Every structure is written in C-alpha cells, then in structure tokens.
Amino acid sequence: MYGFRVAEAQRRIDRTLVERYRELPVATVSDSMFRISSLGARIRPLHAGGTVLAGPALTVRTRPGDNLMIHKAIDVALPGDVIVVDAGGDLTNALVGELMLSYARTRGVAGFVLNGAVRDLKWIKSNDLPVYAAGVTHRGPYKDGPGEVNLPISVDGTVIEAGDLVLGDDDGVLVVPIDEAAALLERATEKHLAELRQVEAIRQGRNARGWVDETLRARGCEME
C-alpha cells in the first residue's frame, strides 16, 4: 500500500566503489557534481569527529516524529548499509537515540542520516558511529507509522534511491546515484590529485595567483 510498505532494494552500490570513494573528501566530490547536490546545510555530523561515512543507502520515509519504520529498517539492514531518513525536517521529536543506535551497530549499520532530530547527544558525540541529523531534542518518538522502507525519498531537493552511495565527513553528507558513481569517481579523483598538487605548491611558495586579476578584468572590474 502506497505510504505504508517495506520493499527490497533492487540494486546496491558496488563495494569496490564505496571503498574508493571513502578516500575522497566530500567537498571534492561535491565540486565534481557541479556544487548542486546536497542534503542541506542543516544536516550536520554529530558523532565523534574524523569518521568517514560511506555505504549504500537504505531509505526510510516516515511521518514526522515517528520511528516505527526506522526500527524496521534496522531489522532488515545489511552490514555496511547507511540508513537515510526523510522525516520532513521536523525537529519536534527525536527519531533515534542511544538504544536504537547501539542495536544498529550490532547489525553492522554503517551510519545514519536523518532529516529530523536525535537525542542522547552525549552518547553520539562519544562514539564513532556516523550520525548526521538536522537537530537534537529530548522528546521521544511515536511508533505508529506510516512510512516506507527502500523506496525513493527526497531530502532538501535531492532524490535518494535505495542502494545509492551515501558519503559523509566533517563537512557534511551527500548522495551519489548508482548510475553516476563510476564516471563521477574518475572526475573526483582527478580533482583530488590536482588539489593535492596545489597544496604542495602553496607549501613551497610557488602557487600561481594571476588568475585572480585575469578574472576581475574579464568581468569588468575597475582596478587602480
């Protein structure tokens, strides 16, 4: 029934691609996607810093303040899955906390991305299980449904399908569609290597800056 159903993921991002993406900064991948793909600036990392999130999306759509379908998602998750929740961005009730996150870890869940709120922030901040969320509140959730698991969802205008690549670091989180992942990996890797060369040039004091004035002149800027 539309709006209240659990499906099976038809495809999953290849594990080899997941591990290769894990070596790339989210900002570099984002730039390689023309800076247009985002799950929104509100969704921030809340866990202990330095942990990279990478894995196939297990999508959940739920009504605000209800986590019944998130419980189901944890039960059907495969090791390495990232549970991505569209809860409409409502922050009235927390969707997950220490108990659910602890159980999810035993299931091998790689992390959570929630367009909603969490609680037990002290526990989240002291653990390296990646948790990205839009807010924090002590108020607990309801467990009535409805919702959907492994069906397409949307967060801040970005459509996420089950099995897409979810990638996150301290700068935030984004999603790479399965069909774009291989080609995008090549572009992002090239950009990453170019940026490493630029960092080395800066360190050695030979970073070229002529492009700044060239751009200003090309745009008609008056300079004395």
Residue 61's φ and ψ, nearest 5 degrees, are -120, 125
Q: How confident is the model at residue 142 (pLDDT cuts 50, 70, 90)?
A: very high
Query: Whole-number mean pLDDT of the chain?
Result: 97
Q: Is the pTM of this model over 0.85?
A: yes
Q: Where are the alpha helices (DSSP H) in 34-145?
A: 68-76, 98-106, 121-125
148 is in an annotated binding site: no
97 is in an annotated binding site: yes
On the question of pLDDT at 183 being above 90, the answer is: yes
Q: Determine the Cα–Cα distance for residues 72 and 60; give it in Å rounded to an integer.
A: 9
Predicted pLDDT at 1 = 86
Percent of the chain with pLDDT over 90: 97
- The domain limits of the chain are 5-187
Q: Which residues does 203 contact at the CB level (< 8 Å), separation at least 6?
A: none
CATH class of the domain defined by 5-187 = alpha beta
Q: Are 26 and 137 in contact (CB under 8 A)?
A: no
Residue 140's φ and ψ, nearest 5 degrees, are -80, 170
Q: What is the mean pLDDT of residues 176-202?
A: 97
223 is in an annotated binding site: no
17 is written with which tokens?
A: 């691609």
Q: Determine the Cα–Cα distance for residues 160 and 192; give it in Å rounded to an integer.
A: 25
Q: pLDDT for 8-52, tens place per residue?
A: 999 999 999 999 999 999 999 999 999 998 999 999 999 998 899
Q: pLDDT for 51-107, tens place per residue?
A: 999 999 999 999 999 999 999 999 999 999 999 999 999 999 999 999 999 999 999
Q: How confident is the model at residue 165 (pLDDT cuts 50, 70, 90)?
A: very high
Q: Which residues does 51 contact at the CB level (< 8 Å), separation at least 6?
A: 128, 129, 130
On the question of pLDDT at 150 being above 90, the answer is: yes
119 is in an annotated binding site: yes
